């Protein structure tokens, strides 16, 4: 039976979308992966671009609110930012909870190249975390 994984962030636009893409790729057919936010901000085009550079297409992802998944019995819930961990409304679940606070590349400033570099750095941090998570939990 496939495990169900929810990745939770503030706006479900960047970090959770990147993690969703990597978890789905690494888990292959062993898990169903979902991502959501406390709010929805739309999928960040720079997140789509940075994942395309890594060979993963998340262009069809949507930004979803956590309430949309209240009837799903998740096995794992991963928060990828402190705000989501602290601000998440009560979410009844028996899921095993994990947390890692990744910096928000959407808040990066500087030149186009500097912003792109920040997205790449966070992408690689999330990739490493997701690979280890799948290796240890599935």
Q: Which residues form the catalytic set?
A: 9, 81, 88
Helix (H) / strand (E) element for 78: namely strand 76-79
DSSP 119: H
Round to whole Å and give the CA distance between 10 and 79.
9
Strands (DSSP E) contained in 17-74 are: 31-37
d(CA 13, CA 108): 14
Strands 96-99, 3-9: parallel, antiparallel or unpaired by DSSP? unpaired
């Amino acid at each position: 039976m496939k495990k169900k994984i929810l990745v939770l962030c503030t706006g479900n636009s960047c970090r959770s979308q990147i993690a969703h893409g990597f978890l789905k790729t690494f888990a292959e057919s062993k898990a169903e992966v979902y991502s959501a936010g406390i709010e929805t901000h739309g999928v960040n085009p720079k997140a789509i671009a940075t994942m395309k550079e890594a060979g993963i297409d998340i262009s069809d992802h949507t930004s979803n609110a956590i309430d949309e998944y209240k009837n799903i019995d998740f096995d794992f819930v991963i928060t990828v930012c402190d705000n989501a961990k602290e601000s998440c409304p009560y979410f009844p679940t028996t899921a095993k909870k994990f947390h890692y606070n990744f910096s928000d590349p959407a808040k990066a400033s500087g030149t186009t190249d500097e912003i792109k570099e920040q997205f790449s750095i966070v992408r690689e941090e999330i990739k490493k975390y997701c690979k280890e998570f799948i290796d240890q939990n599935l």
